[in-house]
Amino acid sequence: MQDVAANKIDLIVTDPPFAIDFKATKQNYNRTASRVMQGYNEIKQKDYYEFTARWMEQAFRILKESGSMYVFSGWNNLKDILNALDDTGFTTINHIIWKYQFGVVTSKKFVTSHYHCIYVCKNEKKRRFYPYTRFGKNEKTAEGRSLHYKDKEDVWNIKREYWTGDQKTPTKLPAEIIKKILEYSSKEGDVVCDPFLGSGQVAVVSKMMGRRYLGFEIVKRYHQFAKKRLDENIYRVKA
C-alpha cells in the first residue's frame, strides 16, 4: 500500500488475519485438509496491535475523503482493531454483526457463530452512502413492513459459502456480504481495495459488479489462485 498514491481509493473491504493461530482443517471446518491450500500467514497476538495500526495508517492515507472501510474481525483481538481505528483517525459509523449458520462447538463455553464488521470512514462530512440502492424507500414486504429498514439493520444473517472444486483457500467472505457492502458504499467505476486478498473474493465480486479493484496478497499460491479466478471469470454474482 505504500506504493499507492494518497486519496485514490473509494472503498476498502478486508478480512485481515485474526491472530488466533487459525488452521482450516477438516476437524473444525468439515473440509478435506489435502484440498486446503497451505501458507496462511498468521500474526502473533503480542504483535497484533502494531501490525494492525501499520496497515490501517496506509489504508487511511490511500482512502479518499469520501471513502469508507469495512474491516472484519473475530472477537478475540477485536480491542486491537477498535483501538487502532481510533488511533489512526477513522470515524466509526456502525458496528455490524455477521451471524452465520454454524460455529465451532466446545464443551466449556458458548458456540461462537458470528464475526464483527466495523464500518468506518475517513471524513464523516464527505462520506458517501447509497441508502436505497437495494430497496426503494417505500418498498414493503407482503406483510407491509419496510424492506430497506430490514436490510439496513446492523445484524446480518448471511450463510457461509461452501467451496466447490478441489482447491480452496482457508477463508473466504460470502459474495452476498461483499455485494451488499459494495451496493451501499460504492458505485460502478469506483476503486475497491482489499489489503489482504486471500482467495480474491473482494476483487472477483467487485469485477462482476463493474467496480475497479486493487488487492495485495503475500502468499504466492493464494495470489495465483485469485488471479486465476479473475482471469477466468468463474464466479457470477446473483442479481
In-domain check, residue 237: no
CATH of the domain at 199: 3.40.50.150
**pTM for this predicted structure:** 0.86
State the average pLDDT over residues 139-156: 92
* CA–CA distance, 53 with 80 (Å, rounded to integer): 9
Residue 33 is given by DSSP the state G
In-domain check, residue 3: no
List of residues 6+ apart from 50 with CB closer than 8 A = none
Contact assessment for residue 161 and residue 174, using Cβ atoms and an 8 Å cutoff: yes
In-domain check, residue 2: no
Mind listing the pLDDT tens digit for each residue in 49-105?
999 999 999 999 999 999 999 999 999 899 999 999 999 999 999 999 999 987 777
In-domain check, residue 113: yes
In-domain check, residue 48: yes
In-domain check, residue 192: yes
Residue span of the structural domain in which 20 resides: 9-232
In-domain check, residue 1: no
**Sheet strands side by side (includes 155-157):** 155-157, 91-104, 112-121, 63-73, 9-14, 191-194, 212-215
Mind listing the pLDDT tens digit for each residue in 89-119?
999 999 999 999 877 778 898 988 899 999 9
Number of domains in the chain: 1
Q: All 3 cell numbers of residue 156?
A: 446480518
In-domain check, residue 239: no
Q: Which of 91, 82, 83 is nearest to 60 (CA)?
A: 91
